[in-house]
Amino acid sequence: MSNYAPSTPERRAALTEAIRAETGIDETLIANVVDEFYTRVRADELIGPIFNTRIADWSPHLAQMRAFWGSVALMTGEYHGQPMRKHLPLPVDAEHFDRWLKLFEETVNDLCNPKAAEHFMERARRIAESLELGIAGANGVMLGRGERFRQFAS
């Protein structure tokens, strides 16, 4: 069987169930992680202001992030947004992504079993790297392997 077989609802459901069984991740855990993470984000002195000046009503954002992480962590396919487009105009660089990852890692380590925490973190690291590369490119900076995007003095 090819690794590139088309996704079917049955195949997606089987994959989701396998991830649930292996990691213990479910919708309740995702909601708890998202809610706690954004509580920490809002209170953070570096990245909190970036979110707080752009999000007036947190309920829709949290619902969207739960759907996003359901798609990322469980392969549910329920998120259909464009995260890169939404992040491109933000005033962020490597320092902000490092803080985002630190807060996310602290959150999943506090709320999840080790297997679930690592599953979340593998995906969070890829997301942060992809967004940082995209934002750098949108600012005319082509990053080489291992390079970071810095546009603000630390």
pLDDT band at 4 (very low <50, low <70, confident <90, very high): very low
Contacts of 71 (CB under 8 A, 6+ apart): 77, 78, 79
User: Residue 148 phi/psi, 5° resolution?
Assistant: -120, 155
Q: Is the pLDDT of residue 6 over 70?
A: no
What per-residue confidence (pLDDT) applies to 153? 65
Question: Is 0.95 surpassed by the pTM of this model?
Answer: no
The better pLDDT of the pair 115, 154 is held by 115
* Predicted confidence (pLDDT) at residue 154 exceeds the cutoff of 70: no
Contact 46, 99 (CB under 8 A): yes
